[in-house]
Chains A and B, each alone.
Chain A
Amino acid sequence: MKVVELLESRRRQWKTLEQMTDRLQSRRRNRLPPDDLVKFADLYRAACADLALADAYQLPPSTTQYLHRLVGRAHNQLYRSHKFDFRHWGKILLHDVPESIFRDRCVQVAFCLFWGVFLTSAALAYQQTMWPNYAQEMLTEPVISQLESNFSEPLTGRDPDADLAMAGFYIRHNTSIGLKCFVGGLLVIPGLFITVFNAAHLGAAFGYMARPEVAESQNFFQFVTAHGPFELTAIVLSAGAGLRLGVAWLAPGRWGRLASLRRTAREAMPLMGAAMCMFFLAAMIEAFISPSGLPYWFKALVAVVSSGALLFYFLVLGLPGGSSRATG
């Protein structure tokens, strides 16, 4: 058979496939009736076969190119992206993530780094003999005066509207910092910088506000107690997950650097998901409980309960085999 005849006999099929692909691709009418779907798959396979035999058929290059594009487009409509599988999320967050955190060196390192810097910075800001101006240099004057003015009045609760708005703000602001910390960890230096900077900054603020001569310290600690456990754990977790990415390509072990990075990223992303859940919880507490006029014992109780929940999450669920014992 001559090429021209062959093309004539195929042209109609290709055109039909093209039209069906267009329809599948358009947003509004992207559902084909079942018969057409079967036909679409058939036409796609026929086009694939034509492409495979293009050389044997001696098709002209332009036709081959057309077939490459046609098959490519149809392929992308036939094989579509996998959506999220929400059913597995519960298992991943409650089973896989705690277990991987439990034996994760990077999270431990990030934990030590964050708390080490935090406590050092707090101590430096608290005492005034070794480095008298540390707090002023670290925090800068405007931040200190803002801190003092923010906590100058005892917490009596805001109007609920402001609470809602602040919830939105905390979710956006804090989770963004966590995500930046995570992604920055891939390039190692930005990740470490964000972690250390945040630890030092927060530590200095805590240390400064803890000074006996600072009048606002009472209010400050009333405010930060309740949401502290979730928020600080979440930032440590983000930093740890990010650090894992950096280590994955710096010290890949037996893997290729890229393969190691890819594998680790797949594992680290759920960790970041857990951290984001914590940021969310922290934001809720920070917006609705921390600024309220509730008595201090209640806020302390919230902190104790959330710390307990975190310990349960990391230690009981995280202990290898622990969750399987718990569930049955």
Chain B
Amino acid sequence: MGVNLAFGTGLANNRSMSTALNQLDTTIQVVTPENIAFDYRVAGPFRRLPAFLLDVAIRIAAFFLIGLIISFFAGAGGSGLAVAVILIGWFVSEWFYGGLFETYWNGQTPGKRIMGLRVLTTDGQPINGLQAVMRNVFRTADMYPMLSIQILGDLPPAYIFPTFFAGLAVMACNRQFQRVGDLVCGTLVVIEEKPWLTEVAKAEDPRTAALAELLPTDFRVSRSMAQTLSSYVERRRYFTPARRREIAGHLGEPLLQRFGLPSDTSYDLLLCALYHRTFISDRPEESPQRESRSQHDQPVSSGLSEGSSP
């Protein structure tokens, strides 16, 4: 009874938690042509600003380098052609640097590449050249309001610098951190991380396997419970024993009653054993343990109780 109740609430909690997590997490779901849905993490301003600054730095560095080379070959004064090439190059890099890179580098600029970002359309598909160019041309709209440098003191009025407030405000107002250019083109920036495949978590405690033998074989672990178990076992090493007991108690207590195990069995160990049986060991179809349990019950379970737990 208690177990069923626990399952019911567990499931409900799980569901409400997952929607809450979706609202909290900045992920989008992409449905591929293969009809598979997978998640992307959307990149926020604090991840994109360094990428942008890197791009600006790269642009300026490349510009100086090329200018240096050209003036080296063309002579110090620089011929008209050299000046024209430099000016046109400056114009192209000013307006089309991002657009060209994102078109030919599959949605990345050098800065985005370093920061592990990529531009996609809002439905997760690759962008096209028009979108790439447009979203970068529209960066100018993100730079507003422009401020004259005169507000910093008595300086010549020629210098105007962008504040990027418009872009930040627009980014803050939508859930996918799209700036003005992204909204206009229907694109967004996602984080593309290198994945790490971790080993399946295993309980190193040898008593786990022993306890797993004692669990009734006809008990079937539901999907949501399996999720709960693996989440717990993956994270339990970050918790102190007292905290483990507290967390595992919610599921462990009804399970202990149901399995008829002694009430001083460690909840943590019980969950590990259940995890072990579900995920790692082969389920024994024929169960000789069932008969012999009454003899083994007492000594084993007394060994299983945690000495440190109150």
Contact = CB atoms under 8 A, between A and B. Distances in A.
Contacts of B234: 60-62
A232 to B, nearest CB: 20
A223 B120 CA distance: 47
B184 A261 contact: yes
Contact of A81 (B88, B91, B128): B128
A83 B129 contact: yes
B95 A179 contact: yes
Q: Which of A4, A52, A72, A175 has the most CB of B within 10 A?
A: A72
Contact of B129 (A45, A62, A81, A187): A81
B230 interface: yes
Interface in A240-260: 245, 258
Interface string B81-115: 10111111011001100000011111100000000
Interface in A57-111: 58-63, 65-73, 75-77, 79-85
Interface stretch (B2-10, B138-146, B246-254): B138-146
A215 to B, nearest CB: 29
Contacts of B80: 159-165
Contact of A76 (B107, B184, B198): B107
Interface residues of B, number: 72
Given A171-B87, A266-B130, A2 B137 contact: no
Contacts of B149: none
A64 B185 CA distance: 31
A261 B181 CA distance: 11
Nearest to B277: A2
Nearest to A55: B223
A66 B279 contact: no
A172 B85 CA distance: 11
A interface, over-half SS: helix
Contacts of B194: 69, 73
A168 B70 CA distance: 15
A213 to B, nearest CB: 30
Interface string A256-270: 001001100110010
A43 B12 CA distance: 36
A161 B233 CA distance: 74
Contacts of A165: 80, 83-84, 87
Given A76-B192, A262-B186, A176 B280 contact: no
A175 B96 CA distance: 12
A48 B279 contact: no
B310 interface: no
A179 B279 contact: no
Contact of B91 (A3, A11, A45, A172): A172
A83 B279 CA distance: 47
A76 B230 CA distance: 30
Q: Which of A45, A59, A60, A163 has the most CB of B within 10 A?
A: A60
A51 interface: yes
4 pairs of A and B residues whose beta carbons are closest in the complex: A161-B80, A168-B84, A168-B87, A164-B80
Given A4-B279, A81-B103, A171-B88, 7 more contacts: A3-B278, A7-B200, A58-B278, A169-B87, A172-B88, A172-B91, A272-B137
Interface of B: 30, 32, 34, 36-40, 79-81, 83-88, 90-91, 94-95, 102-107, 118, 120, 124-130, 132-134, 137-138, 140-141, 144, 166, 180, 183-186, 190, 192-198, 200-201, 223, 226-227, 230-231, 233-234, 278-282
8 contacts: A3-B279, A52-B37, A62-B201, A72-B38, A80-B106, A172-B90, A176-B91, A265-B184
